[in-house]
Chain A
């Protein structure tokens, strides 16, 4: 499986995401924001960081990067797309996922090992997990408060499109403790915490994040 990782100006976690893809037994393909070329990858990850310095709004400028035209088109055809942290912010700005991400309600940057519950284990990116499985992966953000109008939240909850929920503490004021969501088709997933930082025992909180990078959608759809 060839999984592309897009680097935007100001992306931080692209190298970790590539490493996580390899740890998951797949080939990592570096993709460049300025190219109109997905290099024939099977899936795309938009990694974390501070693309364009978070100017204007997080993800607002990256959303118009040349490669995003290809990402949006491929996502529409069912290609798995995972946005982590800043990548999640880019996905909501690109309207591939509903809602928005606001400043944390307490206004502080937060960095901690965060316990989550996987609420939907049937998306392209979470089928390596059990429904309801609890995992611990790092969370690090300043603008991670998921918000949407009441109608959107009701639809996400009703359709089982909340992918992961914060446990023990709501670290940023996200409505209904939402840590990640998916689109109707289940191929696009946005997640605020960082599974790519929890794929090797030597570093990070453990290996609970590895399941996002094993290409589990292949066996899921087979």
Chain B
């Protein structure tokens, strides 16, 4: 069953302390070659009925008002599955 996926990421200019901590942990575990990590959130929305452009527009509104804080975060909306 297809879901609408909303990915929320800290804006590029915003410091991401969690991503930085993960980046610091990788070499300690022996993983090399990673020069940057950004951590975000993924939301999977199961939709009643067909996923139409109108539904996607509605999800955009959900993301803008609740799922992301667009002052500090960017989001993308897509259909998966």
Contact = CB atoms under 8 A, between A and B. Distances in A.
A99 interface: yes
A141 to B, nearest CB: 13
Contact of B69 (A60, A105, A149): A60
B14 A106 contact: no
Contacts, number: 39
Contact of B71 (A100, A103, A105): A100
Contact of B18 (A56, A100, A103): A103
A148 interface: yes
B21 interface: yes
Contacts of B14: 100, 102, 147
B71 A98 contact: yes
A96 to B, nearest CB: 12
Contacts of B66: 56, 60, 64
The winner among B13, B21, B72 for most chain A CB atoms within 10 A is: B72
B2 interface: no
Contacts of B71: 92, 95, 98-100, 148
B69 A145 contact: no
Contacts of B18: 103, 107
A209 B10 CA distance: 34
Nearest to B41: A56
Contacts of A145: 15, 17
A147 B72 contact: yes
A104 interface: yes
Give the size range of B's interface with the partner.
Answer: 10 to 19
Given A102-B15, A145-B15, A147-B15, A107 B21 contact: yes
A93 B17 contact: no
Interface in A134-183: 145, 147-149, 173
B18 to A, nearest CB: 6
A41 B17 CA distance: 40
Interface of B: 10, 13-15, 17-18, 21, 66-67, 69, 71-72
30 contacts: A56-B66, A56-B67, A57-B69, A60-B66, A60-B69, A64-B66, A92-B71, A93-B69, A95-B71, A99-B71, A99-B72, A100-B14, A100-B69, A100-B72, A102-B15, A102-B17, A102-B72, A103-B17, A103-B18, A104-B17, A105-B17, A106-B17, A107-B17, A107-B18, A145-B15, A145-B17, A147-B14, A148-B71, A149-B13, A173-B15
Given A99-B72, A102-B72, 13 more contacts: A56-B66, A60-B69, A100-B71, A100-B72, A102-B10, A102-B14, A102-B15, A103-B17, A106-B17, A107-B18, A145-B17, A147-B14, A148-B71
